[in-house]
Structure 1
């Protein structure tokens, strides 16, 4: 059942399943909370309470916000954790969700017991000319949705059996009223504020990276850079793309539950 949290500027939608230590999952930029459709039941079965969140302008979360991106998402995350009032939580953030998790862990360490940073964007990458041109075109409302949906499959080189269904749900989300500017708004965000706070994070961290993640010229090197800044563990998934928990949910669930046991001990 979808639940909602009313915040200044909009309404946040989330699912809340299971019982036990809390894990809050933030999907990647411009995707739905159902990105965690495979990982959630595995974590629930392992004895966790799992909350999955739609970012601003996505899915069942409202779209009339004044700003979008990793830092607004971090503020939403902190508000949600206080609302849930379940003690310090493990936060699993993918892509810009990882940037939000880092920001929140630095600003409100009492809310977060550990960070799982999946395909993390915690700094601004060095985009090539083709990527910069693509991002620029995606800021044009009439072209953004079809171009983004054409690009989306590149993030999951080993797509699950229901990939077409999930992609159709995502496309339908973009077609909802008031969402024409959402893609362009996210394409304009920066992760510099998250990078500036890396040295202030005290929570233990786990970095999960797919070796076929096209968002980085060298995904392994990026994972090691993030891990070095946070003194984190690294789990590399051979052949996985930008959504490793979609392509390898069992491997990710195993890594997350082992990490939680270590954090809780």
Structure 2
């Protein structure tokens, strides 16, 4: 099982990150969503490798088979982990693909390190640019709702994750596309993540404002979002980022929930591969 060793921002703690490296060709790095792991990407990894690309997916610190440090789950630390991965594997001309929370790593990486080693970017069901409702972000999620999520994670985490999984796929509307076994699989992945890491990364995606960083995204960028997303509503996220990121292609998937990598995997893969080949 391959790992890399990273330093935190203060360089006082080492974290081992688990990754999967498949195929040959231009490297495509898949950054998973909250609260899952690299395992969420199985349908995309196969398609990307079959199309002639090298596909690297990894577990964010605190998730999957990566280490579970107590601190440093902010986006600077997460982007630095990504930087270590890219340097350790000596990757060039990378395509960064961030799902949901992972969109934050993409944007923060480009803010911290510029376009060095990066050729393109993809944001799928992304939280970018800002989740929380404020006076200048009136369509965001109210703070009291975010606080209730944090409370649920602290007091009834595994129960919350089960209900969250259903909203993730708009399960009642997509029973023919999402099996109960898929829900249990996701719940197992999410439940076995670090409780501390789950909460602290939730604080990161809930409270980080990326609006001023969108100008730092200058590589060609594909933005994909489902118009039925109940986890990250399209109006508060991709609708906004598509207007601010300079060189982007914006695709809306009709009736797509948050977890469209399962419910609309063929459509998603077609758009993704088309962008990669351009």
Give the TM-score of the pair, scaled to structure 2.
0.84
Q: Distance in 2 between matches of 1:214 and 1:35?
A: 18
Describe the SS at the equivalent of 2:21: strand
Could you say which residue in structure 2 is the equivalent of 1:191? 208
1:201 Cα deviation after fit: 1.8
State whether residues 30 and 58 of structure 2, in contact with CA within 8 Å, keep that contact through their aligned partners in structure 1.
Answer: yes
Could you say which residue in structure 2 is the equivalent of 1:127? 141
Q: Aligned ranges for residues 35-50 of structure 1 at < 5 Å?
A: 35-50=40-55
State whether residues 96 and 121 of structure 2, in contact with CA within 8 Å, keep that contact through their aligned partners in structure 1.
Answer: yes
C-alpha change, 1:146 and 1:69, in structure 2 (3 Å) is farther
1:65 Cα deviation after fit: 4.5
Q: Distance in 2 between matches of 1:69 and 1:153?
A: 27
State whether residues 155 and 241 of structure 1, in contact with CA within 8 Å, keep that contact through their aligned partners in structure 2.
Answer: yes
User: Please, which of 161, 166, 191 is the counterpart of residue 185 of structure 2?
Assistant: 166
Could you say which residue in structure 2 is the equivalent of 1:243? 259
User: Please, which of 72, 87, 95 is the counterpart of residue 67 of structure 1?
Assistant: 72
The aligned length equals 254
C-alpha change, 1:150 and 1:87, in structure 2 (3 Å) is same
- Give structure 1 stretches of 5+ with no counterpart: none
Describe the SS at the equivalent of 1:127: coil
Could you say which residue in structure 2 is the equivalent of 1:85? 90
- Deviations 1:31-88, CA, capped at 9 Å, x for gaps: 1111101111011111111111111111101112421143322111111111111312
State whether residues 37 and 64 of structure 2, in contact with CA within 8 Å, keep that contact through their aligned partners in structure 1.
Answer: yes
Q: Aligned ranges for residues 101-116 of structure 1 at < 5 Å?
A: 101-108=106-113, 109-116=115-122
User: Please, which of 123, 140, 146 is the counterpart of residue 159 of structure 2?
Assistant: 146
Could you say which residue in structure 1 is the equivalent of 2:271? 255
Give the TM-score of the pair, scaled to structure 1.
0.88
